[in-house]
Amino acid sequence: MKIIGKAIPKIDGMAITTGKPVYTEDFSVSDALVIKILRSPHAFAKITSIDVSRAEQLEGVECVLTYKDVPDARFTLAGQSYPEPSPYDRLILDQIVRYAGDEVAIVAAVDENTALHALKLIKVEYEVFEPVLDFEKAAESGIVVHPEDDLHCNFDIGMEKDRNIVAKHHVEAGNLEEEFGKCDVVVEGTYYTQATAQAMMETHRSYSYLDHAGRLVVICSTQVPFHVKRTVARALKMPSSMVRVIKPRIGGGFGAKQTGCTEIFSAIVTMKTGKPSKIVYDRTETFTSSTSRHGMRVKVRMGADKEGFIKVIDINGLSDTGAYGEHASTTFGLVASKTLPLYNKTKAIRFTGNVVYTNKPSGGAFRGYGATQGTFAVESTINKLAEKLGMDPTEIRLKNIIKEGENSLYHYDQMLGSTALHQCIEKGKKMIGWDGKFPRTDLGNGKVRAVGMAVTMQGSGIEKIDTASAEVRLNDDGNYTVLIGSTDNGTGGDTIMAQMAAEVLETGMDSMTVVSADTDTCPFDPGSYASSGTYVTGMAVVMAATELRNRIMESASKHLDVPVENLEFLGDRVKVLNKDLNISVKNIAVKAVLGPTKKQLTGYATYGSPVSPPPFIAGFAEVEVDLATGKFDLVDYVAVADCGTIINSNLARIQVEGGIVQGIGMAMYEDVRYDYKGRLQTNTFMQYKIPSRKDIRSVRVAFEESYEPTGPFGAKSIGEVVINTPSPAIAHAVYNATGVWISALPITPEKVFMGMKR
């Protein structure tokens, strides 16, 4: 292959570096109304009176909206395919506010200072309720976060809203207690994963206006433009055909922008005033009033025979979705679906648990999407099991992990199409120097070094649900345009799609133009989430490019008066086999547009997969711990990934490195914290610590390729799986150094020190 697998530079890399791309805020006109939101100071309250008269009279104020002025249709902000599994439990503005930071009123004014002044003139009286802040007590608290009668679920997800239960899960196969009774060793543990913030560079923002036909246009920083279109139409009770959503360049998402945030506010202001409007969250608002990773409690019980074969795994979970149910059920499901299939020698498995409402900002999508939480719990338990059996943690995994052509109790009807996880473990062992370092080395100066490890899997798109479409056009100049609805979040998604199309059409990258993420001009795509880009959208691009190539061949056959089977496609021309007779692709393009047929040649395809082939990673951590203080440093991290065929080696490596650093942040630094009244304390980067370059000493990445038969050129995903292993691997290394298991993230020196004291 000439293009696939090569380190092709990002097609927009130099432009981004030199500040040329246009982002959402750059689109707004100079006289666009500026929107600011009045937010609740209380975690749980009912608005008993609200007086906006003084704000409305302020010069420059164009619009003040309260719960009395907005449509009463409930909706979800979760960017998921219809029918969304997340409950419709929101209004644009509600009389009941459910977390400190919830929206109370919308103000639009001619400039920011006027809008901020107007917020201070609004007088609100509240009936303050006792909030539900402890998610472990939410179901039995007797306090109902959502008392309304019009909350709606598209299908049964196990909701018991009077007990604050949003969703339930129960998956079981085999006889658990019988299998536990046969086991020689049983271990168990309870683990807590904290809420963490996505911390993308560009905060949430949107800009809206009415076009010449009176249609609402929303330009926004989103991963899911087609889902935003549906959400805005539902929330505003207007036809979806009257809404257009455009995604320009976006400054990162990591899942935060799979949930709508600001779009409904700019949309309703523009519809109410008829004027362009924009809203830009500052960093504090992004922390306080958007989504974070769901905090969870995960209990794991695991049994094995004395040879080290894992016979039974029992997982019970509890997830905190906060005030609203975005991604509540689906995130929770991945706790099991991306961990239990890894260990397929089991005779019995079970996953049970609930997702609950609390009076805190909503949980939402974040890279890893539930698999991260489940991996921390399950992999930590595997490491405990290995110690109890007296086995090397790498060996117990090599003995138990799923192999190509096998199935599992969790996915008994699906055979694994590809894996190189065994090779990933073996390579990672050598890179970290496992055999010479495990479990620990005393440095003789009061410090100890130790190693730990974990493995993980994810998915590639959402099987049997999400489908992506793509169109590839041959332009009249002989170049190509690729139209896709997926969104490049800065990962190089547009580059990957151009590479795939160029490989099929045997042309260079300079012949490809990618147009993406405009709901009017691009074909439908669910968006960039669930690790679907390379695998799902990529396959649609390959199919569309293949169809176009076939049409070019058919056109050449007519022009040359030679059967297709006697022609050869050479990228820039089509040649007759064994003859010095050919026609250029550019000539074919001109004849298609200007010739007698006058029909531009295009290829179009829609693809949705019946399976979601997992990528795999083996992660290895080495820490150095000061035994006097509990302070520890991560001195080395090795990750070996199997993402099938590597489409772009540079972009794949960057994805792994970035995800590992995010995982290190979750393991060691990051923690969304609240005070006793439910007010967010970590609402700036001064309080919410993410790792900087100085905090990361060594991250080394390698790959072991497999070939996924259902993927484009054998590729699988890489975007999400990368974040899952640092937490359990670092916890394992700290244990090997100190004898202290940290079961509640983040792993801090204080916890290590107090654990050693105990």
Spatial contact of 311 and 396, defined as CB atoms under 8 Å apart = no
Least confident stretch, 157-171, 376-390, 468-482, 585-599: 585-599
CA dist., res. 162 & res. 465, Å (int): 30
For residue 595, the model assigns a pLDDT of 77
Which CATH architecture does the domain made up of 17-129+204-280 adopt? Alpha-Beta Complex (3.90)
For residue 594, the model assigns a pLDDT of 83
Q: Which residue has the higher pLDDT, 643 or 20?
A: 643
Residue 280's DSSP bridge partners are 205
Q: What is the pTM of this model?
A: 0.97
Tens digit of each residue's pLDDT (9 = 90 or more) over 114-144 = 999 999 999 999 999 999 999 999 999 999 9
Write out the residue limits of the CATH 3.90.1170.50 domain(s) in the chain: 17-129+204-280
For residue 190, the model assigns a pLDDT of 98
Tens digit of each residue's pLDDT (9 = 90 or more) over 351-375 = 999 999 999 999 999 999 999 999 9
Tens digit of each residue's pLDDT (9 = 90 or more) over 242-259 = 999 999 999 999 999 999
Tens digit of each residue's pLDDT (9 = 90 or more) over 63-92 = 999 999 999 999 999 999 999 999 999 999
Q: Report the side by side order of strands in the sheet with 205-210.
A: 61-65, 103-109, 33-39, 277-280, 205-210, 216-220, 243-246
Which CATH architecture does the domain made up of 462-607 adopt? 2-Layer Sandwich (3.30)
Nearest partner of 251 among 491, 530, 523, 457, judged by Cα:
491
Class of domain 295-460+613-757: alpha beta
Tell me the two tokens of residue 444: 């003789």
CA dist., res. 100 & res. 214, Å (int): 36
For residue 290, the model assigns a pLDDT of 97
Share of the chain above pLDDT 90, in %: 96
For residue 491, the model assigns a pLDDT of 87
CA dist., res. 641 & res. 619, Å (int): 9
For residue 301, the model assigns a pLDDT of 98
Tell me the two tokens of residue 430: 């050598």
Share of the chain above pLDDT 70, in %: 100
Within 13 Å of residue 427, how many CA atoms lie on the same side as its CB?
Answer: 19
Tens digit of each residue's pLDDT (9 = 90 or more) over 256-287 = 999 999 999 999 999 999 999 999 999 999 99
Tens digit of each residue's pLDDT (9 = 90 or more) over 411-461 = 998 999 999 999 999 999 999 999 999 999 999 999 999 999 999 999 999
Average pLDDT of the chain to the nearest whole number: 97
Nearest partner of 420 among 619, 721, 705, 717, judged by Cα:
705
Tens digit of each residue's pLDDT (9 = 90 or more) over 631-689 = 999 999 999 999 999 999 999 999 999 999 999 999 999 999 999 999 999 999 999 99
Query: Sign of the C-alpha dihedral, residues 476, 480, 483, 488?
Result: negative
How distant, in Å, are the alpha carbons of 209, 276, 538 from that of 107? Answer: 17, 14, 42
Write out the residue limits of the CATH 3.30.365.10 domain(s) in the chain: 295-460+613-757, 462-607
For residue 598, the model assigns a pLDDT of 78
Tens digit of each residue's pLDDT (9 = 90 or more) over 508-535 = 999 999 999 999 999 999 999 988 899 9
CA dist., res. 489 & res. 606, Å (int): 22
CA dist., res. 49 & res. 40, Å (int): 13
For residue 599, the model assigns a pLDDT of 87
Position 597 pLDDT exceeds 80: no
Position 100 pLDDT exceeds 80: yes
For residue 545, the model assigns a pLDDT of 98
For residue 63, the model assigns a pLDDT of 97
